[in-house]
């Protein structure tokens, strides 16, 4: 009997990303199996968030290489097309959208993801269950999207979106940014609940603390636009103790081979 955790749900090969002619991501190869959680750790400014945005299809980036979701080449697809196929990006800084309520946004997103008009009753039942799981007050449904929300509220709403959209692959860009310990625990529990045996996860972070709650199967170290080291969960603890400087000398060697 085959193990679904060994099935590649997402992969990228020789991905390079440039911004206004400057190369930020310098050749990344990555595979995430269904049910696997990967952490991408690295110092600020190393290109982690740029990579996540490129994988999602950010239109302002120059990207080369091959990106696949569930075996399908999505390299030339727009961001909304990737999202419909089941790729999700949790933003480091979710934007406010005055005039659009949380409920209307979530229902539209669910309908686009499922390719059908989700009935109001079905949607409300799922939304209320997600609210309860993440400790989000029900009056959020009528508030404008992220307008006046605290950092913790924005991140909870991001994870609630992920739970409702049921993606094949979730890219979480510094989900722990700006969270206190209580919010971190709630958001982490939401991620764990929303990702099962068929969903891959890539968590972008430079702190180890979120990995105490969302246990990674694989940890990658990202420096100067490249993955310079890959290991198990113990690698995250080593980074917490030693920082990133001790790996700086390996960047050139890793890039060469």
- And the tokens for 193? 């609940």
The pTM for the full model equals 0.88
Residue 37 confidence (pLDDT): 95
Residue 84 has pLDDT above 90, yes or no: yes
Question: Tokens representing 71?
Answer: 């075996």
Give 190-213 pLDDT, tens digit per residue. Answer: 888 888 888 999 999 988 889 999
Distance, CA of 51 to CA of 26 (rounded, Å) = 10
Give the model's pLDDT for residue 150: 86
- Give the phi and the psi of residue 197 in degrees, each rounded to 5: -75, -10
State the CATH architecture for 4-256: 3-Layer(aba) Sandwich (3.40)
Kindly report, residue by residue over 49-67, the tens digit of the pLDDT: 999 999 999 999 999 999 9
In 147-210, alpha helices (H): 151-165, 181-194
* 253 has pLDDT over 60: no
User: 62: which strand partners?
Assistant: 18
Q: Is the pLDDT of residue 122 over 60?
A: yes
Nearest to 225 by CA among 58, 63, 64, 42: 42
Select from 44, 12, 9 the least CA-distant residue to 244. 44
Residue 69 near residue 250, CB atoms below 8 Å: no
Q: Would you place residue 7 in the very low, low, confident or very high pLDDT band (cuts 50, 70, 90)? A: low
Residue 162: exposure state from Cβ atoms within 10 A (0-12, 13-18, ≥19): buried
Report how far residue 118's alpha carbon sits from residue 121's, in angstroms, rounded to the nearest whole number.
9
Q: What is the pLDDT of residue 6?
A: 54
Domain boundaries, the chain: 4-256
Residue 243, number of CB atoms within 10 A of its CB: 11
């Amino acid at each position: 009997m085959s193990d679904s955790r060994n099935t590649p749900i997402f992969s990228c090969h020789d991905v390079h990303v440039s911004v206004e002619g400057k190369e930020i991501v310098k050749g990344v190869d990555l595979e995430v199996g269904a049910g696997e959680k990967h952490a991408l750790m690295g110092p600020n400014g190393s290109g982690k968030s740029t990579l996540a945005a490129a994988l999602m299809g950010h239109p302002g980036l120059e990207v080369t290489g091959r990106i696949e979701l569930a075996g399908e080449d999505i390299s030339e697809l727009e961001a909304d097309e990737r999202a419909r196929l089941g790729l999700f990006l949790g933003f480091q800084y979710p934007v406010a959208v005055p005039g659009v309520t949380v409920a209307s946004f979530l229902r539209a997103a669910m309908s686009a993801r499922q390719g059908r008009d989700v009935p109001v009753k079905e949607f409300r039942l799922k939304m209320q269950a997600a609210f309860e799981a993440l400790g989000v007050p029900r009056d959020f449904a009528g508030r404008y999207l992220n307008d006046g929300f605290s950092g913790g509220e924005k991140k909870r709403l991001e994870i609630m979106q992920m739970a409702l959209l049921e993606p094949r692959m979730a890219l979480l860009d510094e989900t722990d940014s700006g969270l206190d310990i209580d919010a971190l625990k709630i958001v982490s529990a939401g991620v764990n609940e929303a990702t099962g045996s068929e969903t891959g996860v890539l968590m972008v972070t430079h702190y180890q603390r979120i990995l105490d709650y969302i246990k990674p199967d694989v940890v990658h170290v990202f420096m100067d636009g490249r993955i310079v080291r890959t290991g198990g969960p113990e690698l995250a603890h080593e980074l917490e103790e030693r920082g990133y400087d001790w790996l700086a000398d390996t960047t050139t060697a890793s890039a060469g081979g």
